[in-house]
Amino acid sequence: MVIPSIDLEGGRAVKRVRGRRGEYVFVGDPLELARRFSQAPLIHVVDLDGAERGAPANLDVVAAISDAVGGRCQVGGGLRDPASVSRALDLCDYAVLGTLPFTEPRLFDEMAKSFPGRLVVSLDVSEGWVMGGGWTARLLRLEDALRLLEGRDLAAAIYTSIDVEGTGVGPLVADVEALRRVAKRIYYAGGVSSCAHLELLKRAGFDGVIVGYALYRGDLSCVGEGFTY
């Protein structure tokens, strides 16, 4: 399936290039986009301001998106404690965590036990390393990260290839079977801009592909009703 992505900055929907603040394209009103994608089985929402501040910053917009899609969303950005995760899960079906599982493993263990089957971990990967610090710092090797995530009853794991994220140059495919040790559903994000890219990722075994700008531009003619391809 294709999972439309809505990235929020200052209450607006934007698309950043390789995650860099100030290097973005304004893509529209987030609520209008949510209505446009209302038939999708899942919407991926990123609170960019929240990620940078360390606390959710666009919950009112997330709430409006959730209402438009019947709660079929996963939201991340600034979810650093159980209270913020709980608020996110009041709005969306799933909460997305980034570096917290690796920087605060004990806290993550508590969260995984408190919210079984409702947490998604996003792995931002560059050259085999899981990255943090705004994608500037190497945290640990991917294989070590996967070992830490095993047995946590995660809803899904997202593999984001940050070297191509936001560029549309094509995906950098990962070993899906290794990723499947930590979650039943594995999603890919980064560099997707054509139906050929979607087909490549489908053959590789990914359960879903998170796409933003290519959907906004109408580049994915193969995506049908229900956001299948």
Specify whether 7 is catalytic: yes
Instruction: State the Cα–Cα distance between residues 184 and 151, nearest whole angstrom.
Output: 11
> Choosing from 49, 93, 124, 207, which is the catalytic residue?
124
Q: Which residues pair with 96 in a beta bridge?
A: 76, 120
Of residues 129, 187, 188, the one with CA closest to residue 155: 187
The DSSP secondary structure of 81-113, one letter per residue, reads: SHHHHHHHHHHSSEEEE-SHHHHSHHHHHHHHH
Q: Do the bridges between strand 183-189 and strand 154-161 make them parallel or antiparallel, or are there none, so unpaired?
A: parallel
Can you give the C-alpha Rg of the chain in angstroms? 16
> Choosing from 7, 49, 93, 207, which is the catalytic residue?
7
Specify whether 124 is catalytic: yes
Task: List the catalytic residues.
Answer: 7, 124
